[in-house]
């Protein structure tokens, strides 16, 4: 699992043979009309990685935004995620078909298990995920919110390579053990909440580095993730101007010392997304 530069100059993560753009656009908590507009804006701006999920209730709008953009489908990596109540064999495949109908697509590039579900054997869920791939509903498969132990179990149960684990990751939340395991498995880490929902913008270290480079704090944080091998980020915003600014991170670089200073912001209470009754026993409790 390495970062490479494609012919068009874009940097991607190559994970088990799949090229994942390192900066994508997330749609968590975006109402349908906003999701449609911002997906279109993102693709026109230059993003080529769009993330949604069944539980977001905006797949139809995301598909419309993709069509509105005029960007050819083959240029876009589209991810959706199966919700935990559809993890049984047969039901998972039907849920994927329903997602494709809502998206208006023949297939997605990545289909992920959204959270672990201990009520359904992982072997059954991963087997169904593989079957969805064999049926042509998705080109590739992966997981989300999985720990090191769950990643190892899922990899062992899967016939096809798993491409990514989508998890919360930002400077307040270290994911060192998970990143190391994903690297061993040739999987990418896709970071959701990469900006820590804005909580990190007032950190003195971030603001100082931003001033040094003439950039905004959010751009510094996204650049920090962009420069990490094997990491892709999917910032989400409802504001058109933020769609553009979050993508304007390619004209500066962080020094090794700046990268280290930002990494040192990790703290024990850094985790934001930790739903009771659904979250696994995290590697980093946070």
Tokens 């090794």 correspond to what residue?
Answer: 256
pLDDT single digits (tens) 164-188 = 999 999 999 999 999 999 999 999 9
When pLDDT is averaged across residues 112-137 and rounded to a whole number, the result is 98
- Known catalytic residues are 56
When pLDDT is averaged across residues 46-71 and rounded to a whole number, the result is 98
When pLDDT is averaged across residues 266-278 and rounded to a whole number, the result is 94
List C-alpha distances in Å: 75 to 66, 72, 109, 261: 11, 6, 11, 36
Residue 259 falls inside a structural domain:
yes
CB atoms under 10 Å from CB of 123, counted, come to: 14
Asked if 246 and 26 touch (Cβ cutoff 8 Å), the reply is no
When pLDDT is averaged across residues 136-140 and rounded to a whole number, the result is 98
The pLDDT confidence band at residue 11, using thresholds 50, 70 and 90, is confident
Q: Is the pLDDT of residue 1 over 60?
A: no
Asked if 217 and 201 touch (Cβ cutoff 8 Å), the reply is yes
Q: How many domains does the chain have?
A: 1
Residue 276 falls inside a structural domain:
no
When pLDDT is averaged across residues 14-31 and rounded to a whole number, the result is 96
Residue 284 falls inside a structural domain:
no
Residue 43 falls inside a structural domain:
yes
Output the pLDDT for position 9.
62
Q: Is the dihedral of CA 169, 171, 173, 179 positive or negative?
A: positive
CATH number at residue 57: 3.20.20.100
Share of residues in the chain with pLDDT > 70 (%): 96
What does the mean pLDDT of the chain come to?
95
In whole angstroms, what is the distance from residue 50 CA to residue 78 CA?
5
pLDDT single digits (tens) 83-122 = 999 999 999 999 999 999 999 999 999 999 999 999 999 9
Q: Residue 227 belongs to what domain range?
A: 2-263
Residue 272 falls inside a structural domain:
no
Residue 280 falls inside a structural domain:
no
Angle, helices 217-226/256-263, rounded to nearest 10 degrees: 100
Residue 282 falls inside a structural domain:
no
Q: Is the pLDDT of residue 286 over 60?
A: no
Q: Is the pLDDT of residue 245 over 60?
A: yes
Q: Which two tokens stand for residue 149?
A: 């132990």
Asked if 202 and 182 touch (Cβ cutoff 8 Å), the reply is no
Pairing between β-strand 77-82 and β-strand 138-144 as defined by DSSP bridges: unpaired
Residue 283 falls inside a structural domain:
no
Output the pLDDT for position 252.
96
Q: Is the pLDDT of residue 285 over 80?
A: no
Q: Is the pLDDT of residue 147 over 80?
A: yes
When pLDDT is averaged across residues 8-19 and rounded to a whole number, the result is 86
In whole angstroms, what is the distance from residue 278 CA to residue 84 CA?
9
């Amino acid at each position: 699992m390495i970062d490479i530069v494609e012919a068009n100059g874009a940097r991607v993560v190559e994970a088990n043979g799949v090229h994942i753009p390192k900066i994508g656009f997330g749609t968590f908590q975006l109402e349908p009309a906003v999701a449609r507009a911002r997906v279109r804006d993102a693709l026109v701006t230059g993003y080529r990685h769009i993330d949604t999920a069944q539980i977001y209730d905006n797949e139809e709008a995301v598909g419309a935004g993709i069509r509105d953009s005029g960007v050819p489908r083959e240029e876009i990596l589209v991810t959706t995620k199966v919700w935990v109540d559809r993890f049984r064999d047969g039901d998972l495949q039907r849920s994927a078909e329903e997602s494709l109908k809502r998206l208006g697509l023949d297939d997605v590039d990545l289909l992920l298990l959204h959270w672990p579900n201990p009520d359904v054997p992982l072997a059954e869920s991963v087997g169904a995920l593989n079957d969805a791939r064999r049926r042509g509903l998705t080109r590739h498969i992966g997981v989300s919110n999985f720990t090191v132990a769950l990643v190892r179990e899922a990899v062992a149960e899967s016939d096809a390579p798993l491409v990514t684990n989508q998890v919360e990751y930002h400077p307040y939340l270290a994911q060192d053990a998970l990143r190391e395991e994903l690297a061993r498995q040739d999987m990418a880490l896709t970071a959701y909440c990469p900006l820590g929902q804005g909580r990190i913008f007032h950190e003195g270290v971030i603001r100082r580095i931003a001033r040094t480079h003439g950039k905004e704090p959010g751009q510094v944080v996204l650049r920090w993730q962009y420069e990490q091998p094997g990491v892709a980020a999917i910032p989400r915003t409802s504001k058109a101007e933020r769609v553009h600014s979050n993508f304007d991170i390619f004209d500066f670089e962080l020094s090794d010392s700046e990268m280290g200073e930002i990494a040192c912001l990790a703290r024990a209470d850094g985790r934001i997304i930790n739903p009771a009754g659904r979250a696994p026993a995290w590697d980093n409790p946070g």
